[in-house]
DNA sequence: GTATATGCAAACCGTTTGCATGGCT
DNA sequence: AGCCATGCAAACGGTTTGCATATAC
C-alpha cells in the first residue's frame, strides 16, 4: 500500500510547502497524495485510514495537520456539510458532487459546467473563491 | 416595526404550510417575511432579532422552529460556513454572496450567472440541489 | 381533552486548545 | 540546543434532545 513511489510523492509534497517531514505528516501526506489522485477526506476519515494503514496518528494531530496543509496551500477546506469539514487535495476552484446519502464528496467533471459570467461583485469586494456543490440523492425510481 | 401587514404576511406564510400559529412562530415568521423580502439568518441572529423586537423566543425554540420551517418547505438551509447554519426564506436554487469578513450572506443577482450545463450525474443519482457560493473578501487595495 | 409546541438545562459531537513530552534540524 | 510537532484530555461552541409545562384545536 505504501510504495516507495507513494512515499516519494508524499515527501515532495511536504517539501514543496516547507513542512517538516515528521512521521505523522509523512504518513498522512502519503495517504493523501501517494497515488497521485485527488482526495476528499474528513478528519475522522483520514484518522481511520491512518489506523488501517498501521501508522496511527492522534485525532488532534490529524486536525492540526489538515489545518497546516491548508495554511500551506497544499489543501483546501470544502464546506458542504454543516456538521463535518471536508478537505480536498485539489486547490483550484472546481465543482463538487456531494452524495447526501453517504456523505461522499467527489470532483464533478468540470468540462461540462460552464459559468458564463459571475454576478457583479459589490463595490470594495473581490472574489475569494467560487464554490459549486451539486448535491445528489439516490434515485427513488 | 410589526405592522398589521407584516403580521398578515407571517400568518399567511404559516397557514400555507399548515403550521399552528403559535405566538413564537408568528413572531419569527413576521420577522422573517413581514417585509416581503427574502432574508438570510442564523439561529443566533434570529434569536437576537426576536429579543430586540420585544417577543422573546427561547434559543431552542428558534432552532426547532427553523427546522420546522425547513421541513415544511418554507425555508432552506444554506451551508456556507462550517461553524454556523444559515437559513434562507428563498427556497429555489440561486447563487449567494458570502462575505467572509463579517459572515453576511446575501443573494447574488442571478441574472448574470449562467450555468450552461451541469456535469453528467452518476448513474442512479439525481440532483437534489445546486449550491453556488461566491465567497467575497474586502479588497485590500 | 388531546396532540403538539415551548423552555430549560443537560447532552451531544466535531473541533480546538493548553500543556507536557518527544522529535526534527 | 532550540524550536516545532505530537498526544492526551479538557475546553469549546453551535445544535439537539428529554422532559415537564403550556397552548392550539
A14-39 pLDDT, tens digit per residue, is 999 999 999 999 999 999 999 999 99
- Nearest-angstrom CA–CA distance, A135 and A105: 9
User: Nearest nt (C1') to B83 (CA)?
Assistant: D14
> Which member of B85, B122, B125 has the closest CB to residue A82?
B85
Residue A106 near residue A88 (C-beta atoms within 8 A): no
- Beta-sheet strand order (sheet of A96-99): A105-107, A96-99, A125-138, B125-138, B96-99, B105-107
Stretch among A58-72, A105-119, B79-93 having the lowest mean pLDDT: A105-119
| CATH fold of A4-88 | Arc Repressor Mutant, subunit A (1.10.10)
Which one of A43, A132, A137 would you mutate to disrupt binding with B, by most B Cβ within 10 Å of its Cβ?
Answer: A132
CB atoms near residue B49 (< 10 Å)? 18
- In A, which residues are within 8 Å of B79 by CB distance? 79-82, 133
Using 50, 70 and 90 to split pLDDT, how confident is the model at B13? Answer: very high
Which spans in chain B are helix H? Answer: 4-16, 23-33, 43-52, 59-71
CB atoms near residue A137 (< 10 Å)? 13
- Nearest-angstrom CA–CA distance, B28 and B70: 13
A126 touches chain B (CB under 8 A): yes
Using 50, 70 and 90 to split pLDDT, how confident is the model at B2? Answer: confident
CB contact under 8 A, A79 and B81: yes
CB contact under 8 A, B131 and A133: yes
A99 touches chain B (CB under 8 A): yes
Q: What is the pTM of this model?
A: 0.92
Q: How big is the A-B interface in CB pairs under 8 Å?
A: 132
The domain spans of chain A are 4-88, 96-136
* Smallest CA–C1' distance to C4, residue: B20
H or E stretch covering A133: strand A125-138
Which one of B101, B119, B133 would you mutate to disrupt binding with A, by most A Cβ within 10 Å of its Cβ?
Answer: B119
Q: How many residues in chain B?
A: 141
- In B, which residues are within 8 Å of A43 by CB distance? none
Please tell me the predicted confidence (pLDDT) of residue B1. 60
CB contact under 8 A, B79 and A81: yes
Please tell me the predicted confidence (pLDDT) of residue A114. 64
Question: Given the C-alpha cell 399548515, which residue does it identify?
Answer: B18
Amino acid at each position: 500500500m505504501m510504495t516507495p513511489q507513494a512515499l516519494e510523492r508524499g515527501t515532495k509534497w511536504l517539501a514543496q510547502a516547507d513542512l517538516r517531514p515528521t512521521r505523522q505528516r509523512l504518513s498522512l501526506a502519503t495517504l493523501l497524495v501517494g497515488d497521485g489522485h485527488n482526495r476528499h477526506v474528513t478528519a475522522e476519515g483520514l484518522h481511520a485510514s491512518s489506523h488501517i494503514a498501521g501508522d496511527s496518528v492522534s485525532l488532534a494531530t490529524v486536525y492540526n495537520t489538515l489545518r497546516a496543509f491548508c495554511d500551506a496551500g497544499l489543501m483546501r477546506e470544502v464546506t458542504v456539510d454543516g456538521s463535518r469539514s471536508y478537505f480536498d487535495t485539489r486547490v483550484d476552484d472546481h465543482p463538487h458532487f456531494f452524495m447526501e446519502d453517504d456523505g461522499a464528496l467527489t470532483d464533478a467533471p468540470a468540462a461540462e459546467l460552464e459559468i458564463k459570467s459571475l454576478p457583479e461583485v459589490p463595490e470594495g469586494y473581490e472574489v475569494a473563491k467560487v464554490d459549486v456543490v451539486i448535491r445528489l440523492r439516490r434515485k427513488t425510481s
